[in-house]
Amino acid sequence: MQTVLSLVGRAGTPRPILDKLAQAVTRGLQADGMRQTLLAKGVEPVGGTPEQFANFMSGEMRRYAAAASAAGLQRE
């Protein structure tokens, strides 16, 4: 299991704003000082585009749904 930290905005946020935020966060995570600090704490900085994050979360939802189903868990 992994912990995921993300920055999200409300629905309807203009695409240029989302892109600018994603680029700024990714640049910040790739900066040597920040990257080394996070790695030293056991955090793997990733960053990326809104689409990459949406695809990642979609995959995680499918993966956890399959694990819950295999364990016999039911939605409530």
* Torsional sign, CA 21, 22, 28, 31: negative
CA 44 to chain centroid, in Å, comes to 11
The mean pLDDT value for 40-56 works out to 93
**Whether residue 66 has pLDDT greater than 80:** yes
Read off the pLDDT of residues 3-39 as tens digits, 9 standing for 90 and up. 888 988 899 999 999 999 999 999 999 998 999 999 9
Residue 47 contacts residue 26 (beta carbons within 8 Å): yes
CA 32 to chain centroid, in Å, comes to 20
